[in-house]
Amino acid sequence: MTLPFFFLEFMTGLASAASLFLLAVGLSLIFGALGIVNFAHGSFFVLGAYFLFALTRGDAAGFWHYLLLAVAASLVVGAVVERVFMRRVLNRAEHYQILLTYALLLIIEDLSKICFGADYKSIGMPKGFEMPVFVLGIPFPSYYLGLVGLAAAAALLLWLFLHRTRYGTLVRAVTQDREMLEALGVNVPLLFTLIFALGIGLAGFGGAVSLPLQSISTGVAVDVVISAFIVVVVGGLGSIWGTLLGAILIGEIQAFGALVLPEFSIAFTYVLMAAVLLFRPWGLLGRPPAVRT
Amino acid sequence: MRTKLAVAAAVLAVLPWLLHDYGMQVAIQALVLAVFAMSFNLLFRNTGLLSFGHAACFGAAGYTTALLVSKLRWSFAATLPLALVAAALVALVVGFFSVRLTKIYFTMLTLAFAQMLWAVTHKWYGFTGGDNGITGLLPPGLLGNPKGLYYASLVALAAVCAIIHVIRRSPAGYTLRAVRDNPARAEAIGISAFEYMVAAFVISGTLSGLAGFLQVAWQHSAFPDLLYWTTSAEVIIAVILGGSAEFFGPAIGAAVLVVLEAVVRSHTQYWPLALGIVLLAMVLFFPSGVVSLFQRRQRREAPRAAA
């Protein structure tokens, strides 16, 4: 294995890590605040990609400005889903929450099949990233670097939002003590709508910006959501930096695992997930529950 | 209750003479899913643990049968003991590591184990056939004939129900529910919660293996789908749809689910959409399952039904 080849493989892993991070960070946020494990999260990732494809009609020329519209549409969908469905199961047993989100997965899958067709959708490289870059003499798709940059910017903005704004402080507070926040007069239901919409918006953004790299069809949602689970479980449910670490670990394991033992590269990621759950059930960077129940 | 059970048993016994070919296929599928759902609910109802990994036990048994038949030319029925052993072993490993975790972490770890098994099966073309699966497994004799398979599944369902009934009424069953309701207190009076929960997981997983065996006999093939997480989701849907608090709820839920699927699929290709809407309605409007819809009046008259 030569050095340039090794480096390119690393960058490929980082690009899939970027996509995984955008997918999973919303799942983590939503679990942290609402305590809901969202089995439909992969569907919103796919939906974001579909929105972008429908808006651009598969033509990469309008990629950047339609991207904003696709993300806005995802935010709206997230807010509506929270208002109409999620808040009814917030205080219910977890199997009802799981069934509700699974129902959403099924409904979104078939509705998008009806609206957009069942075939695979893909799109060309967006404007500004049409030409490959040469890394140590080997051509490499420049959009991989662009995707990593987008995910890094999203992570930074999210951090700034959570730690430097009043609403971000409230989001962090609600994950710790919802009742206290309500007692202080904060509109917690509105906050939940905001968090859910934000999480779904991020997933939609992730799906849309991943479209130039991976073609997407309605059936992939069930696979995508499992990848998101692995990332947040490894990193720690509810932790942003944990999600980032989890995404990078999983992205690189998939990239290098495919070189070592191509047949079983997916199995490696499950081994990692099981190992983390056995030794640190709350994830690598998650916080152990204060009171063990 | 007893008369209802007798009527149900009589109807199920004569059903093969009333149904045509397609109806028989649906009936067998319903029985197989009923076996799986009853087995799953043994764990869920008595320990409160929501496993998302029961597909591992189901599929391990199914693949054991498929591999022994296709590679070693064993007769179908002879593979049953080993299929159950495989399911028990998988359940022992998964249960041993998982029951220590609580709530969502338990669910996630069981999911991880099952997905690991799926990933290996899905890709190991040399041994399991990968995603091409193992096909052409025509069981000879009794299991190959729809009526024979129907009665075999019915006997399996009756046996599983009897085993679950005995366990529920045994001291071990009460101990399990004590652990479920108050683990700290159960530990304080000297009960090893861990051992009881692993035992429940293993029994539940082994009985799920019986369903996996029947599934392979029914579909004449084994595919990695048997192990995929959507299989675990399907059994959970059957259990909650019927009502996990009712003894026969999971079996009824399984029958409703399979029959509904057959009816919807004969009219439209959008079965997932229909199922999603049914699930939404169930979670929001009748969370105790379909059985409870018909029992509400009785319940009010006799609020303390047998535990």
Query: CB–CB of A229 and B108 under 8 A?
Result: yes
Q: 22-51 in A: which are within 8 Å (CB) of B? A: 37, 39
- Region at A122 (left for phi over 0; alpha for psi -120 to 50; beta for the rest): beta
* Chain length of chain A: 293
Query: CB–CB of B120 and A264 under 8 A?
Result: yes
Query: CB–CB of A98 and B236 under 8 A?
Result: yes
- Region at B130 (left for phi over 0; alpha for psi -120 to 50; beta for the rest): left
pTM over 0.90: no
A195-to-A33, A78, B104 alpha-carbon distances in Å: 8, 9, 20
Q: What is the ipTM of this complex?
A: 0.85
| HSE-CB of A169 using CA atoms within 13 angstroms | 5
The C-alpha of B292 sits at a distance from chain A's nearest C-alpha, in angstroms, of 16
B257–chain A Cβ distance below 8 A for any pair = no
Among candidate residues B102, B64, B89, the one with its CA nearest the CA of residue B212? B64
Using an 8 Å CB-CB cutoff, list chain A residues near B250. none
Query: CB–CB of B97 and A267 under 8 A?
Result: no
Query: CB–CB of A99 and B230 under 8 A?
Result: no
Using an 8 Å CB-CB cutoff, list chain A residues near B276. 103-107, 110
Mutation site for A-interface testing, chosen from B52, B97, B115, B240 by largest number of A Cβ within 10 Å: B115
The C-alpha of A203 sits at a distance from chain B's nearest C-alpha, in angstroms, of 21
Please spell the DSSP secondary structure of A264-287, one letter per residue. GHHHHHHHHHHHHHHH-TT-SSSP
B111–chain A Cβ distance below 8 A for any pair = yes
A59–chain B Cβ distance below 8 A for any pair = no
Mutation site for B-interface testing, chosen from A270, A276, A282, A291 by largest number of B Cβ within 10 Å: A270
pLDDT by residue, tens only, chain B of 307 residues: 778 888 888 888 888 888 888 888 899 999 999 999 999 999 999 888 899 989 999 999 999 999 988 888 888 888 889 999 999 999 999 999 888 887 788 888 898 889 888 888 888 877 887 788 788 777 777 777 888 889 889 999 999 999 999 999 999 899 989 988 888 888 888 888 888 899 999 999 999 999 999 999 888 888 888 889 889 999 999 999 888 888 898 999 999 999 999 999 888 888 889 999 998 988 888 888 787 777 755 554 444 444 3
Query: CB–CB of B123 and A229 under 8 A?
Result: no
B232–chain A Cβ distance below 8 A for any pair = no
